[in-house]
Structures are given as structure tokens and as C-alpha cells.
Structure 1
């Protein structure tokens, strides 16, 4: 990447604009006509690029959609790594998720902007996109397990088991919220219930995962 005075160079800025143009064109077409009804060639034409250029930025058709969620794959791991001193990993994750609910972060499922709702429905109704999301979930588990081992001295097996449970809880909460909003419940009306559910879920986790640094790893026995 070419950076001048802390800013991306001309070539990098052009690449970012092309990336954004392809993504915007794809999402607009998919939401209007359906993911399976739109071809890659149609996306390339709408974005005014060649198919070869499109695939250079997005290797698969599914990438045109899920790339917008890619940063969230390692978000929980980043929260654990960036937590304040003497803050337990699970406490940091809990606080971050609750803040996401307050901020109506789409990753929590608590965002009722029409385009967000349509995008969520499209993903859930498309098996290939659901499969890619499951891949993100597995990646989130691996990243979180690594963060727990590196920052909390958590034994390897304990870290993997904890990561699976923590990520699963976040996804379950987000899916519950998204389902309620998909059926017409406003985000503001859902918010108190979403907070209560999150508090309940993380309390359940804390009962078994409260002290990850001292959990004993019995995998070698």
C-alpha cells in the first residue's frame, strides 16, 4: 500500500473506490432482484468494470455480500486483546455486546434500518451465504481462542471450548434479535428485551467461565 503523509496514495484510493463501486452495485442489484437471480456479469456491467476486475476484488459471488461483515470475524478477539488491565475477557466481551445493542450495531441483530433488514433476510434465505456466515463463525472462534491464550494465559483446550461458547451465545442473541425485527418489532421496542437476554446469557457463561486463566486443561490426561 502506498501511503503519503499518513494518507493512501492515488493508486490505493482508486482501488478503494473501485472496490466500493463494485460492492454498492452488487448489493443494490441483489436487494432488488435477489441474490440467485443476479449474475456476476450483471454486477460487473452495473459497476462498469470487467468480470476479471470484479474477481480480482471479490473472488466469489458470495464475497460481494459477506465482505461487509468480514471485520466482525475477529472483532471479539480484538475486544479481548484491547480490554483494560484487570478486566476479565468475558466481562470485556459482555460490555462490548451491550454497547453494540445501545448503538444499534447490525452485528447484534438490533438494527431496523430497511436496507439492513433486507440484507439480513437475503443472507438468511440464501444457503450459500448462510454457509459463508458459518465460516465466519468458525473463524471467530479460532481468533478468540488465540486471543484468550495470548492475553489470559488460558490453556489451549479451555480457550477453544470457551471461544465456541462465547461466539455461539453472541450469534444466538443476534439471530433472536434479527428474527424479531424481521417480523416487524421496532429496534427501540426490542432493546430492553435484548439487553435482558444478553445479561442472562452472559451470566450463564460467567457461572462456568468466570475465571478462564485458572481453568485446568485436562486434554493431556
Structure 2
């Protein structure tokens, strides 16, 4: 008798949860995520606010009701694969079947578009997938060789596989085939088999004219704001410091602060210019040595930046630790790298002599730009850079055999 009662109660809870999720998605798609309140969803689903929060603790979680099934399915695809089936083949097949089932469904396409157009949902989605990738990474690590760097390589494979989980339109096979070819066989390095495309080396340019007084003053103001923000954040925590306090400490008005840092509070931690970083990444590809592959050229550029630098001061390490442990700063840091993806993809495409619409160049660009974020899951960022670059050059799990 008890089993029947429990079963009925669980079925009722599942129906209520589904009704809430359906009502939320319909409202979000109709009016936009920001224009809908949790109260609107509760009224549309005919539940109380407390009843809604029993099922969905945050507004963002209303959008992602089914994704536990995605995590469980991917982990099962690895752990329960038929004997003799390679891990990547099993993941490829699972994702292909999921994409086929979703292709052509206008609600799913609208759902993916909603996430792409809503920054709050994009950030929530990234954090959710990063939690899920831990479980998938552990399954991949257990299935792969026991070698130095195996855990971070598995985390990278998990991240890159999950990146393909949101395909929802057209024929997904071409994208998935290209993604898993890169993961299993590595970058084919066509750039090593063609003559350099750039002009011959020129004489070094004449030294640039020293910056004028105005430029120096602007640079000093920007530096003082960044230094004040970093010191306050590392002393008291990111969430406990306001922008006005940072402005006061730096000796500027809040208006002046936002003139220098229009992207808001998180950007105060990062002194560099995202445009400059994108240009430097492109330059690393275009001006690499003739015998150097594109992944290796990007590796060497990254090796001198951020967490990958061989030596950091105590103050710099405190800032790196702050970024690693603060989700908003981690999100901003990831965006600061991935904003370079279009320009980097174009440079890779041209240097490798690939068609303009080549998928592999975009996949390589995206994957390399994920490395700084992936390195935050380890205590040795430089090892992460080395291991993931080897993975993208030679494929998994063969790249690990090179270090055994």
C-alpha cells in the first residue's frame, strides 16, 4: 500500500514540475526572459510561489529542466558502452542521436536562441555544463590510459564534447564528425605543408614615438583603478566591495571609472584590452616560425600570459586565485578570451589554406581559447596548457601516450 501511495505522490510531483517548466518556457519564448517574473510563471502554472521554489530554486533553473538527463546520458554512453567501442565513438553516437531527435523542432531552436540572446542564461548554462563536465570527465578518465595529465585531458575532452550538446538545427553530422575527428586524431596541420602566405620579413619598424602626456595620464588612471580594485577584492572578497568604494580609493569619480571600464565591475580586475589580446593571438598565428604548427604557436603565446606565466608575484597570484574562485570573474575571463574567436578563426582558416566555411578552423580556435578556463580546474596551469595543446595536436588518448 505504501509503495502505491509513494508512486502516486511522485507522479503528481513530476506532473507539477513539468507544468511549471512548460509554462516558464512558453512565457520566456513569448516575452523574453528578462520581461517575465517568477510570479508570472507561478500564476501561469497555477501553483504558489513556495510550490514553484520547491521544484526550481532560481529563475534560471526554470529554463534547464531536462539537462540532468543529458549529463546522465553522456556518462552512461562512456561507462556502459559495448565492449571494444572507443570512448569517443560512443560519445559521438550518443550526441548524434540526440541532435537528430532535436533537429527541426522549432521550440528547441527557439530555446537555444533564447539562451544565446540572454547573458544571464548564458552564464548559468556555462556554470551548469561545467558542473556536469566533472562527472563526464571522471568517466572518461577512468576509461582512458593512466598517464600524466590524464585528468586534465579528460576534462578537456568532456568540455569539448559538451560544447556539441546544444546542436539543434540542420544536419548535425558534419559538425559532430569534424569535432570528434579533431578530438580523436588531432589538428591535421595543413599549414605545415604549404608556403607561407604572408609577405616576406621586413626590417624592424622604427621605434614608436613615446606616448604623450595625455596618453600617459590615461594609462596611469586606468592602472590606479585596476590596482585599487584588485587590492580591495583580494582583501575583502569580490562581493563585499562596491564600485563607488573602488572609485574613491583610486581618486576618481564613478563616472570616470565607467569611462575606462564600461563593461562593469568584473572588468576592473583585468587591466588589458580585449582587442589587443585578439590582435596578439592573430599575430601569433600569422607570424609563427615556418616549421611551427598553429596550435603550438598559440601555446607559446599563451605561455607568457595570465596563469601560465612561469613566475608570478604574490600579489599576482592572489588575483589569479580570486578569479578562479569567483564565478562572475571566471565568466568574464572566459569571455575576454573567447571574444577573439571570430578573428582567430579567420586567421587559422587563411594560414591553413582552408575553405572560408571550414568547420575545423572554428573548432580549433574555440578549443584553444577554452584552455585558460580549463586550467582553473587544476593546480598546475602550465601543465594544463601543455596537455590540452598536445591533445588538440595529436588527439585523445594517443597524446597521453607521448608523455607516459
Structure-2-length-normalised TM-score: 0.43
For 2:77, what is the secondary structure of its paired residue? Answer: helix
**Aligned residue for 1:184?**
none
For 2:66, what is the secondary structure of its paired residue? Answer: helix
**Aligned residue for 1:165?**
157
- Partner Cα separation in structure 1 for residue 45 and residue 55 of structure 2: 12
For 2:149, what is the secondary structure of its paired residue? Answer: helix
Query: Could you say if the C-alpha distance between residues 20 and 156 of structure 1 is closer, same or farther in structure 2, counting changes exceeding 3 Å?
Result: farther
**Aligned residue for 1:200?**
178
- Partner Cα separation in structure 2 for residue 105 and residue 139 of structure 1: 25
**Aligned residue for 1:91?**
89
- Partner Cα separation in structure 1 for residue 401 and residue 72 of structure 2: 23
Q: Is the 8 A contact 1:73 1:139 kept in 2?
A: no
Unpaired stretches in structure 2, ≥5 consecutive residues:
186-393
Task: Using the TM superposition, give the Cα deviation of residue 141 of structure 1 relative to its aligned residue in structure 2, in angstroms.
Answer: 2.2
Q: Kindly name which structure, 1 or 2, has the bigger radius of gyration based on alpha carbons.
A: 2
Query: Could you say if the C-alpha distance between residues 55 and 170 of structure 1 is closer, same or farther in structure 2, counting changes exceeding 3 Å?
Result: closer
**Aligned residue for 1:73?**
71
Structure-to-structure mapping, 1:31-46, within 5 angstroms: 31-46=29-44
Count of equivalent residues: 195
Task: Using the TM superposition, give the Cα deviation of residue 169 of structure 1 relative to its aligned residue in structure 2, in angstroms.
Answer: 4.7
Q: 1:48 aligns with which of 26, 34, 46?
A: 46
Task: Using the TM superposition, give the Cα deviation of residue 40 of structure 1 relative to its aligned residue in structure 2, in angstroms.
Answer: 0.6
**Aligned residue for 1:141?**
133
Task: Using the TM superposition, give the Cα deviation of residue 155 of structure 1 relative to its aligned residue in structure 2, in angstroms.
Answer: 4.5
Task: Using the TM superposition, give the Cα deviation of residue 96 of structure 1 relative to its aligned residue in structure 2, in angstroms.
Answer: 2.1
Q: Is the 8 A contact 2:134 2:155 kept in 1?
A: yes
- Partner Cα separation in structure 2 for residue 156 and residue 131 of structure 1: 32
Query: Could you say if the C-alpha distance between residues 97 and 210 of structure 1 is closer, same or farther in structure 2, counting changes exceeding 3 Å?
Result: same
- Partner Cα separation in structure 1 for residue 23 and residue 89 of structure 2: 40
**Aligned residue for 1:121?**
113
Over residues 49-100 of structure 1, what are the superposed CA-to-partner deviations in whole Å (9 max), with x where a residue is unaligned?
1111110110000111112223213432221001111222112112223333
Q: Is the 8 A contact 2:29 2:114 kept in 1?
A: yes
Coordinate RMSD, CA, aligned = 2.7
Q: Which has the higher contact order (CA 8 A, sep 6+)?
A: 1
Query: Could you say if the C-alpha distance between residues 22 and 99 of structure 1 is closer, same or farther in structure 2, counting changes exceeding 3 Å?
Result: closer
- Partner Cα separation in structure 1 for residue 159 and residue 63 of structure 2: 21
Over residues 110-147 of structure 1, what are the superposed CA-to-partner deviations in whole Å (9 max), with x where a residue is unaligned?
x2222112111111111111111101321232112211
Structure-1-length-normalised TM-score: 0.75
Q: Is the 8 A contact 2:23 2:41 kept in 1?
A: yes
Query: Could you say if the C-alpha distance between residues 90 and 75 of structure 1 is closer, same or farther in structure 2, counting changes exceeding 3 Å?
Result: same
Unpaired stretches in structure 1, ≥5 consecutive residues:
182-186
Query: Could you say if the C-alpha distance between residues 12 and 122 of structure 1 is closer, same or farther in structure 2, counting changes exceeding 3 Å?
Result: same
